Structure 1
Amino acid sequence: MKRASLLLPILVVIGALGMSSIFIVDEREKALVLRFGRVVDTKAEPGLAFKVPFIDQVARYDSRILSRDLDPIEVTPLDDRRLVVDAFARYRIVDVNKFREATGAAGDQAIAVAGRRLDSILRAETREILGSVSSNDILSSDRAALMLRIRNGAIQEATSLGLEVVDVRLKRTDLPRANLDATFGRMRAEREREATDERARGQEAAQRIRAQADRTVVELVSDANRESEIIRGEADAERNAIFAEAFGADEEFFEFYRSLTAYQRSIKGDNSTLVLSPDSEFFNYLRSDTGR
């Protein structure tokens, strides 16, 4: 009985020691086994791992791809046109030993320290790369190649931190506020100047068209008048020829017809009064049957 009472605590202690010597490495992390602050083992594969109970400690580090947003920074390209660049990077921890040496911490604290140091690397690379090209290259489709150059430059610097820079992206590239207003003002003035030039060219073209149309109208009217005068002259000549022929065929009848025509034109409903001398030849055909 006494042996049983002593065996139970021993088993409990052994079980506690066994449990404290086992730890699990998740597939999303890597771990370091520390003994008195010194790294004695690295656990990069997921599964069960062992450590010395009460002596060894486990420092865990995230092995997933992490994201880091950079604060907006100002860069000055070759054409001295300042730009505000907003970027972010994706990275992961590939060497936990170097990472611990560089940060001197574990968990979120280590991530924060590494993030600040990675920010400095990315800022320096961004300013160096974007400062070697013009602003048009940054704002064009060539920015993809620039982002690749920034990433490649940051990879070497980040290796000393135990990090691998997976990707760098420029989210936004804008002009500073003061420069943006000035640029908009220049763009507006340029568009207004172009609009004024277009209106002036349009008015000039309209004036030419109106002048051409006016000249065409004058020419058409002149040609029409000339043709009408020719036709009127030919008609008058033909009419006179007919009158002459009629007069030559029967002189007395022609005089009678001319007198009737004169009566018709002179004596109308609104003008039936004539002042003539009694012996006027105008009424010869009214005074006698023969018109004499």
Structure 2
Amino acid sequence: MTKAAYILPVMVIAGAAVLSSMFIVDEREKALVLQFGQVKAVKEEPGLGFKIPLIQEVVRYEDRILGLQTQPLEVTPLDDRRLVVDSFARWRIVDLVNFREAVGPGGEDAALVRLDRIINSAIREILGGVPSNAVLSEDRTGLMNRIRDRARQEALSLGVEIIDVRLTRTDLPDQNLAATFARMRAEREREAADEIARGGEAAQRVRASADRTVVELTSEARKQAEVVRGEADAQRNGIYAEAFGQDPEFFAFTRSLTAYERALRAGNSSIVMQPDSAFFEYLRSDSVQAPAPGQ
């Protein structure tokens, strides 16, 4: 064999060894170079890296922000009112060496299990110290920030940073919904009864005030009517007196005619009188004499 026959396999083996010693990390990844399970190098910047072929291996991890949807968790707030809570967290790997030592070969999957426990523990701790109304309110930013900070402290031991934690659902357990709805309905019915009672009381006050106003207006109207009637009677009597003073005989004549009309009207009771009674004075003669005073 010639030397060329030996050189070609050697070059192929050497080329393969060189290629197997190189690896590429893109901008979405971080990488560790391990030798028999021990960390020998950390590659956090994108680009070309090197390792010893057959002895060292490259383990890649996500450099992007990752998400974690926790399982529904039942918590008991300060007022012993049970709630079902689930959350969503965003996290990223910040310390590759600690992360590898903490989760081992399981990588991100093992980290998700650990983080789920950490976040659930923080949720129980924070929500267990506040009343349920604070958890069920629309503004839960303060509570979520406290949960994030509490979980972030524990997650640092994993080489992980928890960026944010959001409560996606806070509901009552299914077995408590019917009782809660019944209690809410009873409270609303009680409030409605109170409003009806207050409305009835207000209506009674308005009605009493209206009745009093009617009585006052009626009394005032009657008073004014009596005053007007009295003034009219006084004016009438004044006219009669003035007329009597001007022609007493004519006044007596008209008064007698009025008396005849009223006494002789159909349907009246029978009257028995002497023909020469003063009542028939103007029916007996053509001459008109004024009746004597007192007749």
TM-score by length of 2: 0.80
CA deviation after TM superposition for structure 1 residue 176, in Å = 1.8
- Unpaired segments of 5 or more residues in structure 1? none
Distance 1:230 1:38 in 2: 119
Contact 2:30 2:44 (8 Å CA) reproduced: yes
Contact 2:28 2:64 (8 Å CA) reproduced: yes
**1:182 pairs with 2:164:** no
2:204 is paired with a residue whose SS is helix
Identify which range, 196-205 or 135-144, moves more after superposition.
135-144
Could you report, residue by residue, the CA deviation over 1:173-214 in whole angstroms, capped at 9, with x for unpaired residues?
222223333233222222221221222122122212212221
Identify which range, 195-204 or 157-166, moves more after superposition.
157-166
Could you report, residue by residue, the CA deviation over 1:78-116 in whole angstroms, capped at 9, with x for unpaired residues?
2211121111222111222332233332xxx52111111
Q: Which structure 2 residues correspond to residues 88-237 of structure 1 after superposition, within 5 A? A: 88-105=88-105, 110-140=107-137, 143-237=140-234
Identity of aligned residues (%): 61
Distance 1:45 1:11 in 2: 31
TM-score by length of 1: 0.80
- Go from structure 1 to structure 2 and tell me whether the alpha carbon gap of 1:145 and 1:208 turns closer, same or farther (over 3 Å shift): closer
Distance 2:128 2:205 in 1: 52
Could you report, residue by residue, the CA deviation over 1:2-52 in whole angstroms, capped at 9, with x for unpaired residues?
545554444333333222221101111111223344432221221100122
Alignment RMSD: 3.4
2:158 is paired with a residue whose SS is coil
CA deviation after TM superposition for structure 1 residue 154, in Å = 2.2
Residue matched to 1:19: 19
- Unpaired segments of 5 or more residues in structure 2? 290-295
CA deviation after TM superposition for structure 1 residue 170, in Å = 1.8
Distance 1:290 1:198 in 2: 86
Contact 2:83 2:172 (8 Å CA) reproduced: yes
Distance 1:260 1:239 in 2: 18
Letter in 1 for 2:39: V
1:221 is paired with a residue whose SS is helix
- Go from structure 1 to structure 2 and tell me whether the alpha carbon gap of 1:138 and 1:4 turns closer, same or farther (over 3 Å shift): same
**Number of aligned positions between the proteins:** 282
Distance 2:287 2:4 in 1: 180
